[in-house]
Amino acid sequence: MIAPAPAGRGDTVITIDLSGRHAVVMGVANHRSLSWAIAQQLHRAGAALCLTYAGERLRADVEQLASRLPGTLTLACDVTEDRTISAVARRLQREWGSVECLVHGIAYARKQDLEGKFVATSREGFQIALEVSAYSLLNVTNHLLPLLERNGASIVTLSYLAAERAVPNYNVMGSAKAVLEQSVRQLAWELGPKEIRVNAISAGPVSTLAARGVHGFVGMLRHHAERAPLRRNITREEVGSAGLFMLSDLSSGITGETLYVDAGYHVMGL
Ligand code: NAP
C-alpha cells in the first residue's frame, strides 16, 4: 500500500506501508548480504519477515540478525533440496497463509569455476552453478505458488551485468545470471495473470561473502568506481531501497524487468 502522510507546507509525503504483507527473504548469510539490506527495508516498511538460510552452519548468525527485526521467522532452506523447500512452504502456509513478497538472493559456483578458464568449466561445476543460482528461482516460486497467488505478489531476484557482458573471472556465474534474467521474463509472462510480478535487480559490485569468491573482485570494485557515471560504487543500502521499491505497490506497473542499481556503469561504452 502507498499511504499519503500529512506533511508541512501543504505537501504530501508518500510513505511505503507494507503492514499486513508477508515477505520471504532468501540468501541472508551475514550483515553484508544484499538480501539483509532488503530485509531491513521491508521491516521498516512494516512487512512480516521470514529469513531463510542455506544450512545449519549459518543458523546462529542468521538468528542473531533476525533478533534485530522483532517478529522475524528464520527457517533453514537449502535450495538444492526439494524436501527443505517444501517444509518452508508448509510452515508458511500454517503461519501466514499467503506470501506477498519474495526475495531471491541466492547464488553459488565452485571456487575453481570463478578463477580458472571458463572454457574448462566442468559439467558438474556448470550444473551446480545453474541449479543453485538460476533454477532455484523457478523451483522456489513453484513451491510457494499457492501462497504467492493468494493476494498477488512481487518477486525480486539479484543479478549482475555479467548476464549480458563478458566479465573477467565471472565465468559460469555469468551463464547462471543470463539464465536467471531470462527466467525472470518468462515467469513474469506466465505469472502475470495471477497478479504476480517478477523482476531482477542488477547490482554493481558490493563486498559480500559471495562477491569475494570472484577472483580479482577488489580490482572490479576499483574499476567500477572509476568508470561509472556516478564515479563511485553503490552501497548495499541502495540495493535495499531499490528492493523495497520493486516489492511495493510503487512499482505496480513493472514486471519482467531488470533494474540496474550500479551507479550507471552499464550505460558506458568505453
Ligand atoms: P552473500 O551474502 O554471500 O549471499 C549469497 C547467499 O546465497 C548466501 O546466503 C548463501 O549461503 C546463499 N546460498 C548459496 N547456496 C545456497 C543453497 N544451496 N541454498 C540456499 N542458499 C544458498 O552474497 P550477496 O552478494 O549478498 O549475494 C546475493 C545475490 O546478489 C547473489 O545472487 C549474487 O550473485 C547477487 N549479486 C551480488 C553482487 C555483489 O557484488 N555482491 C552484485 C550483483 C549481484 P552460503 O553462505 O551458505 O553459501
CATH number for 238: 3.40.50.720
> Considering the domain boundaries, does residue 269 fall inside one?
no
Residues with CB under 6 A from ligand 1: 27-29, 32-35, 54, 58, 78-80, 105-108, 132, 158-160, 203, 205-206, 208-211
The ligand 1 atom at the shortest distance from the C-alpha of residue 57 is 47
Res 215: pLDDT: 87
Res 134: pLDDT: 98
> Considering the domain boundaries, does residue 239 fall inside one?
yes
Where the chain has pLDDT below 50, the residues are: none
Candidates 56, 209, 222: which one to mutate for ligand 1, based on the most atoms within 8 Å of Cβ?
Answer: 209
Res 197: pLDDT: 98
Res 2: pLDDT: 60
> Considering the domain boundaries, does residue 268 fall inside one?
no
Helices (H), ranges, 152-195: 171-191
Please state the domain count of the chain: 1
> Considering the domain boundaries, does residue 191 fall inside one?
yes
Catalytic residue list contains 53: no
Distance CA 236, CA 213 (A): 18
Residue 60 is part of which domain span? 2-261
Q: What is the whole-number distance in angstroms between the Cα of residue 264 and the centre of ligand 1?
A: 22
- Note the pTM of the prediction, 2 decimals: 0.96
Res 208: pLDDT: 95
> Considering the domain boundaries, does residue 266 fall inside one?
no
Res 5: pLDDT: 53
Beta pairing class for 153-159 and 101-104: parallel
> Considering the domain boundaries, does residue 267 fall inside one?
no
Res 6: pLDDT: 54
HSE-up (13 A, CA, CB side) for residue 211: 21
Ligand 1, atom 19, residue with closest C-alpha: 78
Candidates 53, 63, 104, 108: which one to mutate for ligand 1, based on the most atoms within 8 Å of Cβ?
Answer: 108
Q: Which of 53, 108, 170, 260 is catalytic?
A: 170
Write the burial class of residue 65 (CB in 10 Å: 0-12 exposed, 13-18 middle, 19+ buried): buried
Catalytic residue list contains 170: yes
Res 1: pLDDT: 59
Q: What is the whole-number distance in angstroms between the Cα of residue 155 and the centre of ligand 1?
A: 16
> Considering the domain boundaries, does residue 229 fall inside one?
yes
Res 8: pLDDT: 58
Question: What DSSP line would sit under 141-152, residue for residue?
Answer: HHHHHHHHHHH-
> Considering the domain boundaries, does residue 85 fall inside one?
yes
Distance CA 182, CA 38 (A): 23
Which residues in 188-209 are b (16+ Cβ under 10 Å) and which e?
A: beebeeeebbbbbbbbbbbebe
Residue listed under C-alpha cell 545470471: 177
